Amino acid sequence: MEKQVGPRIPFVIEEGAVRQFALAAQMKDAWNYGPGSVIPPTFLMSAAMWFPPGSRVSSGFDRARLLHGGQEFVFGGDPPRVGDRLTAQDRLADRFEKTGTTGGRMRFAVVVTEFRRAESEEIIAESRATYIEREART
């Protein structure tokens, strides 16, 4: 497997962005995300907005046959908070193939995004996305 690692992208967890996210997700406590508040766990997905075009690690799959197979978050240490300065960096963690239940080949790619505190380089969270490419129909 070819090792792919993207650039580190800096971003700040902004109070307004967290509040907008919480409102869009219909969280009852959306107005409680002030400075220093622990962010909703899935807010880190919005870090994708900070990545410049072409800087994300590619699965190499045909988007017309692409499925999102899953998303998970792993947190370690002190959780991310409003006001934190972080960096995000993608890496292609795994690629493999399986035969589907109805036949046909499926290719899988796992892309991990590491979130680090900008000051200490400590990894505070990881997002693991699994992508699936279905075999082309003939």
Domain parsing of the chain, residue ranges: 48-134
Span 42-95, pLDDT tens digits: 899 888 888 888 888 988 898 889 999 999 999 988 899 999 999 999 999 999
pLDDT at 19 over 80: yes
Q: What is the pTM of this model?
A: 0.86
**Superfamily name with CATH number, domain 48-134:** Hotdog Thioesterase (3.10.129.10)
pLDDT at 1 over 70: no
CA neighbours closer than 13 Å in the CB half-sphere of residue 57: 27
pLDDT at 100 over 70: yes
pLDDT at 37 over 60: yes
Per-residue confidence (pLDDT) for residue 109, from 0 to 100: 95
**Could you tell me which residue, 133 or 30, shows the higher pLDDT?**
133
Nearest to 83 by CA among 52, 117, 51, 121: 117
To the nearest whole percent, how much of the chain has pLDDT over 90?
57
